[in-house]
Amino acid sequence: MMMDHLQDSYILTTDDRKLFLCSVEPIGREAQLRWVFVDRNKVRYVGPVWTGVLLEAQVRALVNGWWHHIKMLVQPMGAAGAE
């Protein structure tokens, strides 16, 4: 798989088994091209800026890194490393 057309969308599963429909869309007044991820519950997330053509492994790494970052942002205080 190679993400080379803005109209393309792909279904990817993250390392923790979260499923996303991944696409690239113009966002905002300036129509900046950004990754958009939609989960099974139809929750839409605006992700990183689109930087160009990516191979499957690169898209997978991008989505995994982004999802890990999002999970860390919404993690409750004290949850990290709690025993």
Alpha helices in 1-83 (DSSP H): 56-74
**Number of residues that this document lists for the chain:** 83
pLDDT (tens digit, 0 to 9) for every residue of the chain, 83 residues total?
445 555 678 899 999 999 999 999 999 999 999 999 999 999 999 999 998 888 889 989 999 999 999 998 877 655 555 44
Domain boundaries, the chain: 2-74
Distance between CA atoms of 28 and 75, rounded to whole angstroms? 27
pLDDT for residue 82: 47
Which residue in this structure is represented by tokens 């958009």?
36
pLDDT for residue 78: 59
